[in-house]
Amino acid sequence: MISTHSRNFPGRNGSTKASMYLASALTVAASALEGAIADPRPYADKEA
C-alpha cells in the first residue's frame, strides 16, 4: 500500500503482512496512474 497519511501501522489498512509506503500526494497519484510505485516528475507541470 502507498498512502499519504501517517497512520500506516500494520493492520490499519489491510493485511498485517502487507508492505506500506508513506509518500507525497504527487507520488501516490503517479503510482495510481502507473499501477506501481512511480516517480511523479514525468507528470509534473514543467511551466509551474
Cα–Cα distance measured from residue 21 to residue 7, given in angstroms and rounded to the nearest whole number: 11
pLDDT: is 48 or 40 the higher one?
40
What ranges make up the beta strands (E) of 1-48? 2-3, 21-22
| pLDDT value of residue 3 | 87
Task: Give pLDDT tens digits for 3-23.
Answer: 888 775 667 777 778 788 899
| pLDDT value of residue 8 | 58
- Domain-by-domain residue ranges, the chain? 2-40
- Closest Cα to residue 30, out of 22, 40, 20? 40
Query: What does pTM read for this prediction?
Result: 0.75
